[in-house]
């Protein structure tokens, strides 16, 4: 359990609670638990109605889905982020495994206390609605991306998105596993390896997990299709 003033200050940093009444946060504070996780830890339990919502204050996570021998990453999130909101509000089992990509810190809030805050505080209710609708739109855009763009386009667009916006560096590092990147982009690891060879002809030099952009115009042309 966190000290009330520390919990309230921490909750205020999340959009979900930034507009909440002081009394709401005071009621939530006793239900807040500070947790730290190392990389590769599954935070929740798929198939069970969540006991907590998690406010990720540092680090990043992957949302995994598995069916028989198949698996994929449906989304990745970076702090600050709140998850398990939709399953909690609908009282439904969690559909995705939330796995830490790196060391993470989070505040776990008991779902009963969170639902009471949603019912009693209009600002929290509105924030929860915005959060869930935003997640829905993000997943819709992701699905459209995988359905309407080729694998080559998805990978090249990922590289462009990871470039230094200042243009000072033409190097992009894969800071996690290539397997995770493949699943995040909606392809198999074998297909990703093949695509790295394809990209060599489109302005990318690949050395392990380091990609150097040698011809930006070629890469942009591939991304556009």
- Which pLDDT score, from 0 to 100, does residue 69 have? 83
212, 174 Cβ separation under 8 angstroms: no
- The domain in which residue 128 lies consists of 4-147
Same domain, 115 and 170: no
Q: How big is the chain by its Cα radius of gyration, in Å?
A: 20
Task: Say which CATH number the domain at 174 has.
Answer: 1.10.10.10
How many domains is the chain partitioned into structurally?
2
101 in the same domain as 91: yes
From 202, 199, 196, select the one nearest 215 (Cα to Cα): 202
- The CATH number linked to 125 is 2.60.120.10
Instruction: Check whether 216 has a pLDDT greater than 80.
Output: yes
Looking at the structure, do residues 126 and 77 belong to the same domain, yes or no? yes
Span 109-125, average pLDDT: 97
Q: What is the pLDDT of residues 59-81, one digit of tens each?
A: 999 999 888 888 888 888 899 99
Q: Are residues 213 and 161 in the same domain?
A: yes
Edge-first strand order for the sheet with 52-58 is 32-37, 104-110, 52-58, 81-83
Q: Are residues 81 and 181 in the same domain?
A: no
Annotate 159-212 with DSSP letters as a single string: HHHHS-TTSS--EEE--S-HHHHHHHTTS-HHHHHHHHHHHGGGTEEEETTEEE
Do both 181 and 213 map to the same domain?
A: yes
Q: Same domain, yes or no, for 142 and 160?
A: no
Same domain, 138 and 159: no
Domain boundary among 93, 115, 147: 147
- Last residue within a domain, chosen from 96, 114, 147: 147
Contact in structure between 153 and 195 (CB atoms under 8 Å) = no
Do 85 and 168 belong together in one domain?
no
Same domain, 17 and 123: yes
Q: What is the pLDDT of residue 145?
A: 83
Quick: pLDDT tens for 194-209. Answer: 998 888 888 888 888 8
What proportion of the chain, given as a percentage, has pLDDT over 90? Answer: 52
The answer on 133 and 45 residing in a single domain is yes
- Other residues' Cβ atoms within 10 Å of the Cβ of residue 93: 12
Domain boundary among 112, 147, 182: 147
Query: What's the pLDDT score for residue 65?
Result: 87
pLDDT digits (tens, 9 = 90+) for 138-187: 989 888 888 888 999 999 999 888 887 766 668 888 888 888 889 888 88
Asked if 129 and 155 sit in the same domain, the reply is: no
Closest residue by Cα to residue 118 from 135, 101, 132, 100 = 132
Contact partners, residue 28, CB within 8 Å, separation at least 6: 7, 11, 17, 20, 109, 113, 114, 117
């Amino acid at each position: 359990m966190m000290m009330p003033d520390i919990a309230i200050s921490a909750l205020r940093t999340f959009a979900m609670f930034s507009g909440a009444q002081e009394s709401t946060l005071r009621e939530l504070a006793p239900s807040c638990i500070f947790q730290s996780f190392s990389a590769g830890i599954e935070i929740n339990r798929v198939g069970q109605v969540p006991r907590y919502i998690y406010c990720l204050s540092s680090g990043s996570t992957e949302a995994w889905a598995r069916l028989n021998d198949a698996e994929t990453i449906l989304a990745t999130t970076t702090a600050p982020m709140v998850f398990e909101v939709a399953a909690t509000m609908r009282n439904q089992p969690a559909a995705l495994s939330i796995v830490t990509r790196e060391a993470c810190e989070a505040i776990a809030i008991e779902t009963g206390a969170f639902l009471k805050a949603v019912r009693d505080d209009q600002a929290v209710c509105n924030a929860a609605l915005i959060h869930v609708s935003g997640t829905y739109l993000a997943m819709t855009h992701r699905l459209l991306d995988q359905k309407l763009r080729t694998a080559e386009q998805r990978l090249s667009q990922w590289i462009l998105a990871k470039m230094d916006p200042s243009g000072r560096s033409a190097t992009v590092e894969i800071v996690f596993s290539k397997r995770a990147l493949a699943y995040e982009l909606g392809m198999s690891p074998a297909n990703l390896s093949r695509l790295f060879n394809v990209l060599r002809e489109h302005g990318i030099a690949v050395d392990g997990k380091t990609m150097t952009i040698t011809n930006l115009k070629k890469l942009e042309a591939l991304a556009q299709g």
